[in-house]
Amino acid sequence: MGVDSQTGEAITGFSLSAFYWSTPALVGDMLYIGGTSYRHSEKSGLLAMKLVNGKFTSTDQAQWYFPGEETLEASGDWSGVASSPVVVDGVIYFGGLDGKLYAVRD
């Protein structure tokens, strides 16, 4: 949820059905957030959304999406990203539940 820093009033937001435990990274007009899902019931991975006129595009109109792989555990029930993304020089770094460190150029 995006809020006005002066009034605290909600000005933008979005709702997603996957679990989004990570802290999002906001760089310029792009928001990056990692999500997880149980048994691939929902879209999990890294989602990039753009701010347009101060509001996020809908999740159906995400700029791009990088899918998560299954976990390393034997059951492999969970997939996605639980770490917070870090953006350096146009590269988004994040850890997947599969035990891998990813570097994705925007």
Please classify residue 89 by burial: count the beta carbons closer than 10 Å to its beta carbon, then call 0-12 exposed, 13-18 middle and 19+ buried: exposed
**pLDDT of residue 54 exceeding 90:** no
Which pTM does this prediction carry?
0.76
The mean predicted confidence, pLDDT, of the chain is 78
Percent over 90 (pLDDT), the chain: 17
pLDDT of residue 16: 65
In angstroms and rounded to an integer, the radius of gyration of the C-alpha atoms of the chain is 14
**pLDDT of residue 88 exceeding 90:** yes
